[in-house]
Amino acid sequence: MDEIQNKEQSTSTHKIGIYLWIWGLLFVLSFFSYMVDWFAFQGFLRWTLILIFMFLKAGLIMAFFMHLYWERYALVNVLLWPMTAIAGFIILMAAEAKYTVFTRLLYFFIGG
């Protein structure tokens, strides 16, 4: 891996084929995620498919269009680790939302 990476970095420009491939894949993945809505999948299947296509698209854009795949780990890790804080925030707020809706149901409909 190191050899390939170093070679890429020393030339700093990549073959046009890789960009066209990623571009094509992004189109296909977008089409698939639109099809999720078109065929009106519901529930767990819908959410799983949406998330899979979303993360694949995001990963391809970051890795190849934004060149992260070819960057040194010093930069990649500085950029990607802070994202775990977002994951933590999502978990906290999901729990908070559950609590809010619980109290709303309790006081709006059952009465305090």
Partner 1 sequence: MSDNSLNNLPGGFKGMSHDMGSDQTAFKGVQWGKVMMWIFLLSDTFIFSCFLISYMKGRTSTVVDWPNTSEVFSLHVGGVPVPLLLIAIMTFVLITSSGTMALAVKYGYEKNRKMCGWLILATAIGGLTFVGMQIFEWSKLIHEGVRPWENPFGAKQFGSFFFMITGFHGTHVSIGVIFLFIYARKVFRGDFDNGKRGFFTTMKSDYVAIEILGLYWHFVDLVWVFIFAFFYLW
Binding footprint of partner 1 on the chain (CB under 8 A): 1-2, 5-6, 9-14, 16, 19, 22-23, 26-27, 30, 33-34, 36-38, 40, 46-47, 50-51, 53-54, 57-58, 61-62, 64-67, 70-75, 77-79, 82-83, 86, 89-90, 93-94, 96-98, 100-101, 104-105, 108-109
Q: Min. distance of Cβ 111 from partner 1 in angstroms?
A: 14
How many residues are listed for the chain in this entry?
112
N-to-C CA span, the chain: 63
* 96: exposed, middle or buried (Cβ count in 10 Å: 0-12, 13-18, 19+): exposed
Question: Taking the complex as a whole, how short is the minimal distance between the CB of residue 17 and partner 1, in angstroms?
Answer: 11
Q: How far is the CB of 63 from partner 1 (least distance, A)?
A: 11
Nearest one of 28, 34, 20, 33 to 65, comparing CA atoms: 20
